[in-house]
Amino acid sequence: MERCSRCILPLDYPGIETDTDGTCNFCHEFEPGHYQGAEKLKADILERSKGSKYDVAIGFSGGRDSSFLVYYLSRVLGLKVLAITIDNGYMSRDAIDNVRSIADEFGVELVIRKHRYLEYSFPRNLKAWSRQPDPALIIALCNGCRFGLRKTLYQVMQEYGARVLVDGASPLEPNPFKEKLFRLNPNGKGKLSLVVGILSHLLRNPRWIINPYNMYIFFMEYAAFYGKHYEKKLQKQGISLISPFYNYIHWDEKFIEETLKNDAHWTLSTQGVSTWRSDCLLAFLKGYLHKHTLGYNEQSGLISNLIRDGQISREEALARVTRVQSVPEEYIRELLEKTGVDFNQMVDNIKKANLYREVTE
Ligand SMILES: [Zn+2]
């Protein structure tokens, strides 16, 4: 596989362009973050939460980043934390165990709620996808998750009178390929080219759109991601959102993982070889499908950003990419069986569409 000479993105990554040294545009565009520090984070949280029962609320998935933040906010910054776990119906058992044990250990109040949007739409989406595989629509398998998560989080915050919400988003995480696959021109900008692109992919497989409620969830999911609707709603409710890894503290993978192992006794999910997104079973399925239709997945983007950010060398990244991208096939079979989708049939359909890639390096 031919890759950028600096990061590990393959040269057929959407929107990639290389210079004479073979370095890609994503490497050139990367800018290291500027962080205001832990003291400022604490001060901003306390300023915005003045007078409320909790200093801060956090959406707590039991995955790596939110587990670290629960520890960091409660133990390191000494804040009164309300941890809110929203089960999307596909959380791994390990993740639920982590959530309870971490909340217990740090004396953090934990609220567990469930939403059903993903359980409704995922089996329908997967059946539609497996009949006519399309790499761009892999991310849409999870429609309803983000929408249900946000909606339920804000409800709980209102009930408990919390006013500051912290999230675990990190600047090293975004993967531009997911959006670029939809656009008519991968480097196009603006919402129109995206909306037209999404519609053209959906219309090629009408099974996605025959169910009106499923389409409602689809629409709300994209509104949750791109629209200003939620920001306005948050303002109205008096909730402010803070992303510590964007503005305050550096997302340092080694530090986060060591802290979790040593201080928080956090366990790695048994279903995946990476600590990333071990909180949701569907993340593994998407990783598997991206890998076998595109040759790369979300891990490739994160690992490339770790190189650009100076956290690992390109050699370490290459050694790691095959290992972290692999997802045990038995696990995918099991998830598909529960959903009523035949694994072999799906792989056959991927092959028939000339999309199947055997990834060996
Ligand atoms: Zn690059």
pLDDT in tens, 61-100: 888 889 899 999 999 999 999 999 999 998 877 778 889 9
What's the pLDDT score for residue 267?
62
Mean pLDDT calculated for residue range 162-185: 93
Taking the C-alpha atoms of residue 200 and residue 51, their distance in angstroms, rounded to an integer, is 49
Between these two residues, 270 and 359, which has the higher pLDDT value?
A: 359
Residue 281 has pLDDT above 90, yes or no: no
- Ligand 1 centre to CA of 298 (Å) is 15
For ligand 1, the distance from its centroid to the CA atom of residue 9, given in whole angstroms, is 6
16/93 Cα distance (integer angstroms):
38
What's the confidence (pLDDT) of residue 31? 94
* Average confidence (pLDDT) over 282-294: 91
CB 260 within 8 Å of CB 42: no
Gap from CA of 286 to ligand 1 centroid (Å): 23
Residue 269 has pLDDT above 70, yes or no: no
pLDDT of residue 178: 93
Between the CA of 280 and the centroid of ligand 1 the distance, in Å, is: 28
Cα–Cα distance for residue pair 240/231, rounded to 1 Å:
9
* Lowest-confidence region among 32-46, 165-179, 219-233: 219-233
Residue 271 above 50 pLDDT? Answer: no
Q: How far is CA 68 from CA 48, 71, 98, 272, 351, in A?
A: 22, 5, 11, 19, 41
Q: pLDDT tier at 270 (50, 70, 90 boundaries)? A: very low
Torsion angle of the four alpha carbons 211, 215, 216, 217, in this order, in degrees rounded to the nearest 10: 110
Q: Please state, in angstroms and rounded to a whole number, the distance separating the CA atoms of residues 12 and 317.
A: 18
In terms of CATH, what superfamily is 31-295+328-352?
HUPs (3.40.50.620)
d(CA 272, CA 283): 10
Given this model, what pLDDT does residue 145 score? Answer: 93
Alpha carbon distance 46, 306 (integer Å): 31
CB 361 within 8 A of CB 306: no
**H/E element holding 24?**
none
Q: How far is the CA of 360 from the centre of ligand 1 (A)?
A: 20
pTM (2 decimals)? 0.91
Give the mean model confidence (pLDDT) for residues 160-189. 92
**Å from CA of 29 to ligand 1 middle:** 9
Q: What is the pLDDT of residue 232?
A: 80
Exposed, middle or buried by CB within 10 Å (0-12, 13-18, 19+), for 20?
A: exposed
pLDDT of residue 272: 43
Q: How far is the CA of 15 from the centre of ligand 1 (A)?
A: 12
In this structure, are strands 240-242 and 56-59 parallel, antiparallel, or unpaired? unpaired
Look up tokens 């999309």; give the residue. Answer: 355
- Residue-range domain boundaries for the chain: 31-295+328-352
- Residue 143 or 331, more confident: 143
Q: Which band of pLDDT confidence, cut at 50, 70 and 90, is reported for residue 237?
A: confident
> Average pLDDT in the 172-187 region?
91
Cα(66) to ligand 1 centroid in Å equals 28
Confidence band, pLDDT 50/70/90 cuts, at residue 361: low
Number of H helices, E strands in the chain: 17, 5
Nearest to 175 by CA among 81, 258, 294: 294
Residues 303-325, mean pLDDT to the nearest whole number: 90
Q: Calculate the CA 35 to chain-centre distance.
A: 22
Q: What whole-number distance in Å separates Cα of residue 85 and Cα of residue 130?
A: 30
Whether residue 276 is predicted with pLDDT greater than 50 in this model: the reply is: no
pLDDT recorded at residue 223: 83
Place of tokens 């520090």: 37
Q: What is the Å distance from ligand 1's center to 321 Cα?
A: 14
The pLDDT value recorded for residue 325 is 64
Cα 10 to middle of ligand 1, angstroms: 9
**Token reading at 330:** 């038995």
C-alpha 332 chain-centroid distance: 18
Per-chain residues with Cβ under 5 A from ion ligand 1: 4, 6-7, 24, 27
CA of 177 to the centre of ligand 1 (A): 13
Q: What is the pLDDT of residues 198-212, one digit of tens each?
A: 999 999 999 988 999
CA–CA gap between residue 85 and residue 360 (Å, rounded): 37
> What's the gap in Å between 8 CA and the centre of ligand 1?
6
Instruction: Tell me the CA–centroid distance for residue 119 and ligand 1, in Å.
Output: 37
Between CA 341 and CA 352 the distance in angstroms is 17
Distance 112 CA to ligand 1 centre (A): 40
Tally of CA atoms within 13 A in the half-sphere of 169 that contains its CB: 11
Query: Measured in angstroms, how far is the CA atom of residue 289 from the centroid of ligand 1?
Result: 23
**pLDDT reading at 280 higher than 90:** no
pLDDT at 328 over 80: no
Q: What is the DSSP letter of 21?
A: T
